[in-house]
Amino acid sequence: MTDQPTKLRVAVIGCGIVSKKHLRAIIKLEDRFELVALADSNPSAPGALLKSLKIDDAKSAKIFPKLKLFTDYIEMLETLHPDVVAITVPSGLHFQMAKRCLESGSHVLLEKPMTMKVSEAKELVDIARSADRRIAMGHIYRYIPLVADIQNDLATGVFGTITHGSVIVRWGHDQKYYDQAAWRGTWQFDGGALMNQSIHAIDLMYWLMNDAPISVSGVIARRSRDIEAEDLGMAVFEMRSGALCQIEGTTATSPKDHEARFFVNAEKGQVRVALRKGRPALEIRNAAGRNITMRYLFRALIRYGNTFLTRATNPHYGIYDDLSGAIRDGRNPIADAASGYQSVQAVLGIYASAKLEQKIALPLTGDESTLDMTGFFK
Ligand SMILES: NC(=O)c1ccc[n+]([C@@H]2O[C@H](COP(=O)([O-])OP(=O)(O)OC[C@H]3O[C@@H](n4cnc5c(N)ncnc54)[C@H](O)[C@@H]3O)[C@@H](O)[C@H]2O)c1
């Protein structure tokens, strides 16, 4: 008789828009994960989530035989003690829930942004370390096929010294998007286009550049949407190496034309990665100016085989896949707790710079919070 590897028992707290991607990943990785709970304070949300994935009672009983539904996540934790908890609730609730999950012994897959306050992110990093639990951040861009190979080559000097990077996130959302839930666009529970829609892009730039910021100068604006926080932000980071990195992040553009662009310039080549209207575009050039993109594509196709398309269309698959390995091997996930902490600092640094109208040193030395920005836009 062969030993069946034990599956990780996973619970999802928050059954809204992004939780669909989590469930799709869990279903695809059914050899390693078993969904045991859905928790949502809205009692109709778990049912609506399953229905949106075309999972009726019969199918649910078949693919999730142990699934239980909860309206109180603490009761869920105390009843089931899941191995992994995915937290997909409004961002202002991330800290309290992640803390509780780690303290009750679960590994955590935490959606971005990690927290809304510097000290809270630091506390999660510390709790995870002392409890020997993993935190995998929902920084999806790190998990898109090819990205890890490009990052590795940039980090190991294949492209030489990096001079600068640039990231654009034009992730348009109309007023209806913001009006669908009271938490969206508020300083307490969400932040604006930088904290919500751009934070994982900032994280990717740091990762690709294999660098850390030492200062930031930023400006934010509210141009088109009726929200408390910004719908547009621009900033320049000075990196430890001397490189510069600029960011434009906005939701004030067309909701029909989502666009994220990454550019890294190095002495021996350039990397351009883009996603526009769901279509990826890649261009990697070497020192001679030759387009060497296909090399990376073939490498990723060989590595990921028949999961390539799934990873490209649902990066949450990559997060769960990597997290199962991280738990098994006792290593950090690709997007670990430190990446969550650093990117929260980046955005809070931009907010502080905008508020104080000055360059801000990073890492932050105070306990900045999105709530510091209350009343910023009159
Ligand atoms: N990584 C990504 O690509 C990505 C994409 C979208 C959203 N997100 C992040 O995911 C999080 C959720 O976003 P969303 O768009 O799915 O939001 P949503 O509003 O669609 O869903 C949130 C869900 O949480 C539930 N909830 C609220 N308070 C709760 C509580 N106390 N206990 C249990 N459930 C509670 C709500 O009822 C709702 O069903 C946010 O932090 C967002 O930034 C990440």
372 has a pLDDT exceeding 50: yes
135 has a pLDDT exceeding 80: yes
**Domain boundaries defined on the chain:** 8-140, 142-372
What is the predicted pLDDT for the residue at 198?
98
Q: Which CATH number fits domain 142-372: 3.30.360.10, 3.30.565.10, 3.40.50.11540, 1.10.287.3510?
A: 3.30.360.10
Containing 8, the helix (H) or strand (E) segment is strand 8-13
Q: Which two tokens stand for residue 26?
A: 């869990």
Over residues 247-259, the mean pLDDT reads 98
For ligand 1, the distance from its centroid to the CA atom of residue 161, given in whole angstroms, is 39
Confidence of residue 378 (pLDDT cuts 50, 70, 90): confident
What is d(CA 333, CA 336) in angstroms, rounded to the nearest whole number? 5
Q: Which CATH number fits domain 8-140: 3.40.50.720, 3.80.30.10, 3.20.20.480, 3.40.50.10310?
A: 3.40.50.720
Over residues 199-219, the mean pLDDT reads 98
Decide if 82 contacts 94 (C-beta within 8 A): no
Residue 37 φ/ψ, nearest 5 degrees: -155, 145
Q: Give the number of residues written for the chain.
A: 378
For ligand 1, the distance from its centroid to the CA atom of residue 40, given in whole angstroms, is 10
Ligand 1 atom closest to the Cα of residue 184 is 19
Give the start-end residues of each E strand in 66-105: 68-70, 84-87
Over residues 304-319, the mean pLDDT reads 95
What is d(CA 274, CA 4) in angstroms, rounded to the nearest whole number? 41
**Is the shortest distance between the CB of 48 and ligand 1 below 6 Å?**
no
Q: Across all residues in the chain, what is the average pLDDT?
A: 97
Residue nearest to atom 31 of ligand 1 (CA): 41
Q: Which two tokens stand for residue 161?
A: 């010294």
2 has a pLDDT exceeding 60: no
Task: For residue 25, give the 3-state DSSP assignment.
Answer: helix
Angle at 59 between CA 57 and CA 61, to 5 degrees: 65
- DSSP notation for 143-210: GSTTHHHHHHHHHTTTT-SEEEEEEEEE----HHHHHTSTTTT-TTTT--IIIIIIHHHHHHHHHHHT
CB count in 10 Å sphere of residue 311: 22
**Is the shortest distance between the CB of 197 and ligand 1 below 6 Å?**
no
65 has a pLDDT exceeding 60: yes
Domain 8-140 and domain 142-372 have a common topology: no
Smallest CA-to-CA distance from 341 within 4, 110, 8, 173 is with: 110
Ligand 1 atom closest to the Cα of residue 315 is 3
